[in-house]
Chain A
């Protein structure tokens, strides 16, 4: 039994003049999934989401959502999609409550009718319902924008970088809220530049330069990294990285948080490494094998392409 596809994209291309924003994009999103697009600024995430939400036309390819064509059936589709753009589309001079009422009315419904769907999210900001949206903190704006995107009970929720610029506590809360929406069988398409958020999704597409590099469950994505990865630490990082790059058996070396992540040509190193580093004036080095994460895999894929 496979769940039905809520989004199907085949060979989608989109250019802005000479700039290719999306190239040969194909993927499916299944019903009830949280599907994440992970990639840096300029990767094409927003363009893709605008095409799916019928706000932009593709140059080439087919795009369907909820069984409807994103070009021909745009009117019907819009009634069933909740879209939260990167810059929250809230009216800053309307209050929290007025914003919510406005969105409900535009979609021909009332706040009361679908209140149970947003109750969990909206309750965080309800104490401030008479405050203008412009006076809310980033985290509260995000919750209001999500409430507004949900108020017409859409079957598909499209969230473009909902956690960008929001602090870590609000980010964690936001993901908890999204997971709770699963029980309403809402399919969620979400983008983020944060690699660590991949783990919150059911499946993830890694996107870079308008192309999808890989699609899989997050825990399986990092398994694509086939080399042995070592974490190397010394107090003088700059010296360490320069020296490691000069070491003949190094395959790659790059900064990764507190340590450097290093791969070796034959997946192993010997005592000559420590001697070599010592000779370059780097001492107190510790090396241990470590497990690759999504970001390591992303780097590897980027370098191959």
Chain B
């Protein structure tokens, strides 16, 4: 694991006098599953917006997929995928129409979209669902499809926001297996979540509080360091003193 896909040094983001990101430094590697945690208002969303080219840093060095977040945010956008639990697919379009739409947005050639649609539906054993509206699919299928669409263009990084919140435990495991498979293919998976048990599935986890990264390591090492049984306990120890 030596290829850096995300490299952040002394990232600062201010909104007026408010410091949302206070000198963040971290690296994420190729094929890694990286968990990015923090309490509400810790500054996570700000960081993710910068890492995905939607917002510019106030200062500091931010490289994503080989591109500079100050100068080349458009190139970053082309090389990442994004999926969140609440909104990812258009409910009133069919499965195939959604794939077509996202393929088009990512600038993929029609023939490539057709080929990938075919292989995607086959891999998910979704062939019979191709012409169904998204609204008619069960939640678990929607989520698997949304994830496949988010990596349709083979991005270097895919950002997942609470990917398995609320789904049943069986579907959840199928979903994590998809994530493992994707990471094993060399795509970096960047997970943000409120669900601390989701964090346990990541290779490394960072915990943010009040604009700073307070801890970053493998879940096992963090639990050992904080003498905790779960990442939830680690999280509460880090985030609690600062609350209120």
A17 interface hit (Cβ, 8 Å):
no
Is A195's CB under 8 angstroms from B169's CB? yes
Is B40's CB under 8 angstroms from A241's CB? no
Report how far A9 CA is from B167 CA in the complex, Å. Answer: 26
A74 interface hit (Cβ, 8 Å):
no
* Interface bits B27-39 vs A (CB < 8 Å: 1, else 0): 0000000000011
> Which of B138, B168, B184, B218 has most A Cβ within 10 Å?
B168
Residues of B contacting A227 in the complex (Cβ-Cβ under 8 angstroms): none
> Which of A40, A165, A196, A239 has most B Cβ within 10 Å?
A40
Interface size of B by CB at 8 A reads 37
Distance from B114 Cβ to chain A, minimum over Cβ atoms (Å): 28
Chain A interface category by residue count: 35 or more
Distance from A49 Cβ to chain B, minimum over Cβ atoms (Å): 16
A139 interface hit (Cβ, 8 Å):
yes
B78 interface hit (Cβ, 8 Å):
no
Is B184's CB under 8 angstroms from A239's CB? yes
B105 interface hit (Cβ, 8 Å):
no
A55 interface hit (Cβ, 8 Å):
no
A-B contact count (CB 8 A): 89
Which residue from B166, B177, B218, B239 sits with its C-beta under 8 Å from A193? B166
Report how far A116 CA is from B173 CA in the complex, Å. Answer: 45
Residues of A contacting B39 in the complex (Cβ-Cβ under 8 angstroms): 167-170
Which residue from B40, B171, B177, B219 sits with its C-beta under 8 Å from A138? B40
* Interface bits B130-172 vs A (CB < 8 Å: 1, else 0): 0000000011000000000000000000000000011111110
Known: A42-B139, A196-B197, A255-B173. A169 touches B184 (CB 8 A): no
B181 interface hit (Cβ, 8 Å):
yes
Distance from B177 Cβ to chain A, minimum over Cβ atoms (Å): 6
Is A164's CB under 8 angstroms from B219's CB? no
A258 interface hit (Cβ, 8 Å):
yes
A172 interface hit (Cβ, 8 Å):
yes
Chain B interface residues (CB < 8 Å from chain A): 38-41, 138-139, 165-171, 173, 176-177, 180-181, 183-184, 194-197, 200-201, 218-220, 230, 232, 235-236, 239-240, 243-244
8 cross-chain CB contacts under 8 A: A40-B168, A124-B244, A168-B235, A195-B169, A196-B197, A196-B232, A238-B181, A257-B200
